[in-house]
Amino acid sequence: MDTTFRDAHQSLLATRVRTHDLLKISPFVSHNFNTLYSLENWGGATFDVALRFLHECPWERLESMRKLIPNIPFQMLLRGANGVGYTSYPDNAVYKFCELSVKAGMDIFRVFDSLNYLPNLVLGIDAVGNAGGVVEAAISYSGDISDPSKKKYTLDYYMKLADELVKAGIHVLCIKDMAGLLKPRAAKLLISRLRERYPDLPIHVHTHDTSGAGVASMLECAYAGADAVDVAVDSMSGMTSQPSMGAVVASLMGHELDTGMNLNDVSQYSAFWEQTRTLYAPFECAVTMKSGNADVYQNEIPGGQYTNLQFQAFSLGLGDQFEAVKKAYREANLLLGDLIKVTPSSKVVGDLAQFMVQNKLSAADVEAGAENLSFPKSVIEFVQGYLGEPYGGFSEPLRTKMLKGLPTVKGRPGATMAPLDFAAIKSKLSEEHGPRITEYDVLSYAMYPKVTEDFLFFRNKYGPVDKLDTRIFLTGPKVGEEFEVQIEKGKTLHIKTLAMAEDLNVNGEREVFFELNGQLRSVMVRDQE
Ligand code: 3PY
Ligand code: ZN
């Protein structure tokens, strides 16, 4: 599977790659990579970031990619009962979300739960199955099964969970190594054991290359009988992203597992992304991250979160704080009982770690003073049970001290949530934003109410900004610059910026003059300097 369209940029470029650039390279992918198991191009953080920061509709992105790539299965990442969000949703929101995803063009759903909590996983599996999608159920990997001193997440734990998932009726089993902890020897052990137990079950493995061992691990998985492994095109691979496509393709050439993929095609694809990546320089993790780092085996921070935490620390001018955050992350995880850490449980651990660093608290301080500390909201909601139940139970007596008498949820959180009234949401949105509200907008609202409202206001005011090219979108045109925007097939706007007024008006706005298809126009723009 190629992750370039989703996890690679989520992990390297803060998920900022725009539909415009994805569509530019889509015909090339369609023509040259039709032997891929799948193209991961949706879900995870892309949904939220598209709406929130890129001001574009994620559903339209999916439909547009589908039109240009009709011949490669599409794959998305579904956070089980957490949909594409950070919390539990009512069941009908997850079912409807899957139904619409299939309608918009999705094929394969990688379903995981941030605590490997079976009832949440089963809900996601059922929702995908109901929608007619391919169910790829994922076991999130933590710890190290090749280290006998690690007692919580053992080979036996993973085999039992696999048994439960197979019983739930899945099409594909995924091992989701979101932090890149699956060392080559552990990979061989786990995949060969799964292959032995389930000779006919398709097995798919996902990893991140944070330590630098990703290619080695994926090759071991392939040799041990995995059917598909995840890679990103070379120029979007490595470090917190997936291992390199070119490296895996080249390593298997002439072997019985030869992928049959052409290195020249990979290289052309990579050249496109090498160029395109430069447009996203402000979001580039490579500004702060220069190399792989094997300390991930200790802190167990997932790929996307690793770059986020590092970026936050460096942008505050606290580069050395990142070392403290990584250390605190490890401690926070142990305090909470050694959790599976992946969105959203990884956010809980990250928030606790940052809280500890900011307040200069050691693990012992947290344990001793929990009754008197104001923990981040995500941490409190986690101990209340809003994400489900962690394997091995909640950490006591810390949980009770943190709760300070707050109510708790037993079992699967979504089971006790009232269903959403989609018709009511639609009429509310239509009243506020006009009659063009679709069922896709309704589901965006179900996942992210405030972000979707902001997006709808923005779209009504500014139109389809996803049609602008990325440099213009991110930095704006220069005075005197001419550019074109294709708003639909055969409809192109010619724009030339002419001048800006010297003075600001009373609202702090400046008049900007431009030509639109040869006609003089002006617009008031708030001055940000
Ligand atoms: C996500 O949930 O977005 C992830 O990438 C988890 O690994
Ligand atoms: Zn990932």
> pLDDT tens digit string along 339-398?
999 999 999 999 999 999 999 999 999 999 999 999 999 999 999 999 999 999 999 999
pLDDT of 254 above 90:
yes
pLDDT at 129: 98
**Residue carrying the six token digits 């597992």:** 257
CA of 281 to the centre of ligand 2 (A): 21
Of all protein residues, the one whose alpha carbon is nearest to atom 5 of ligand 1 is 44
**1 alpha carbon, closest ligand:** 2
Q: Is any atom of ligand 1 closer than 6 Å to the C-beta of 77?
A: yes
CA of 308 to the centre of ligand 2 (A): 14
- Model pLDDT for residues 288-300, shown as the tens digit of each residue: 788 999 999 999 9
Sign of the Cα pseudo-torsion (123, 124, 126, 130, in order): positive
- For 380, counting Cβ atoms within 10 Å of its Cβ (0-12 exposed, 13-18 middle, 19+ buried), the class is middle
pLDDT at 321: 87
Confidence of residue 209 (pLDDT cuts 50, 70, 90): very high
d(CA 190, CA 177): 12
- Model pLDDT for residues 124-139, shown as the tens digit of each residue: 999 999 999 999 999 9
CA of 6 to the centre of ligand 2 (A): 9
Q: What Rg value do the Cα atoms of the chain yield, rounded? A: 24
- Model pLDDT for residues 63-88, shown as the tens digit of each residue: 999 999 999 999 999 999 999 999 99
CA of 241 to the centre of ligand 2 (A): 7
Q: Is any atom of ligand 1 closer than 6 Å to the C-beta of 344?
A: no
CA of 232 to the centre of ligand 2 (A): 11
Q: Is any atom of ligand 1 closer than 6 Å to the C-beta of 403?
A: no
pLDDT at 310: 86
pLDDT at 438: 97
Q: Is any atom of ligand 1 closer than 6 Å to the C-beta of 304?
A: yes
DSSP 8-state secondary structure symbol assigned to residue 294: T
CA of 304 to the centre of ligand 2 (A): 7
pTM: 0.96
How many other CB atoms are found less than 10 A from the CB of residue 274?
Answer: 13
Share above pLDDT 70 across residues of the chain, in percent, rounded to a whole number: 100
Q: Is any atom of ligand 1 closer than 6 Å to the C-beta of 302?
A: yes
Q: Which is the closest atom of ligand 1 to the Cα of 45? A: 3
Confidence of residue 211 (pLDDT cuts 50, 70, 90): very high
- Model pLDDT for residues 1-38, shown as the tens digit of each residue: 999 999 999 999 999 999 999 999 999 999 999 999 99
pLDDT of 274 above 90:
yes
Of 309, 335, 345, 341, the closest CA to residue 324 belongs to: 309
Of 149, 153, 162, 225, the closest CA to residue 182 belongs to: 153
CA of 353 to the centre of ligand 1 (A): 19
**45 alpha carbon, closest ligand:** 1
* Tokens encoding 225: 């009988």
Q: Is any atom of ligand 1 closer than 6 Å to the C-beta of 342?
A: yes
Sign of the Cα pseudo-torsion (371, 375, 379, 381, in order): positive
Confidence of residue 528 (pLDDT cuts 50, 70, 90): confident
Residue type present at position 360: K
Hey, which of 10, 40, 77, 209 would you mutate to test ligand 1's pocket, going by the most ligand atoms within 8 Å of its Cβ? 77
pLDDT at 128: 98
d(CA 259, CA 248): 9
CA of 41 to the centre of ligand 1 (A): 13
Q: Which is the closest atom of ligand 1 to the Cα of 176? A: 7
Q: Is any atom of ligand 1 closer than 6 Å to the C-beta of 76?
A: no
Confidence of residue 314 (pLDDT cuts 50, 70, 90): confident
pLDDT of 529 above 90:
no
CA of 13 to the centre of ligand 2 (A): 13
Give me the mean pLDDT over the 251-271 stretch: 98
**47 alpha carbon, closest ligand:** 1
**82 alpha carbon, closest ligand:** 1
Hey, which of 343, 345, 346, 448 would you mutate to test ligand 1's pocket, going by the most ligand atoms within 8 Å of its Cβ? 343
- DSSP for 366-392, please give it: HHHHGGG----HHHHHHHHTTT---TT
CA of 238 to the centre of ligand 1 (A): 17
Of all protein residues, the one whose alpha carbon is nearest to atom 3 of ligand 1 is 44
pLDDT at 337: 98
**15 alpha carbon, closest ligand:** 1
- Model pLDDT for residues 180-206, shown as the tens digit of each residue: 999 999 999 999 999 999 999 999 999
**346 alpha carbon, closest ligand:** 1
Q: Is any atom of ligand 1 closer than 6 Å to the C-beta of 44?
A: yes
CA of 482 to the centre of ligand 2 (A): 40
pLDDT at 285: 78
The strand pairing partners of 449, in sequence order, are none
Alpha-helical segments (H) within 244-384: 245-251, 263-279, 296-299, 303-315, 319-335, 345-358, 363-369, 377-384
Q: Is any atom of ligand 1 closer than 6 Å to the C-beta of 343?
A: yes
Average pLDDT of every residue of the chain: 96
Of all protein residues, the one whose alpha carbon is nearest to atom 7 of ligand 1 is 178
- Model pLDDT for residues 95-106, shown as the tens digit of each residue: 999 999 999 999
Hey, which of 7, 86, 387 would you mutate to test ligand 1's pocket, going by the most ligand atoms within 8 Å of its Cβ? 7
**84 alpha carbon, closest ligand:** 1
CA of 436 to the centre of ligand 2 (A): 35
Q: Which is the closest atom of ligand 1 to the Cα of 178? A: 7
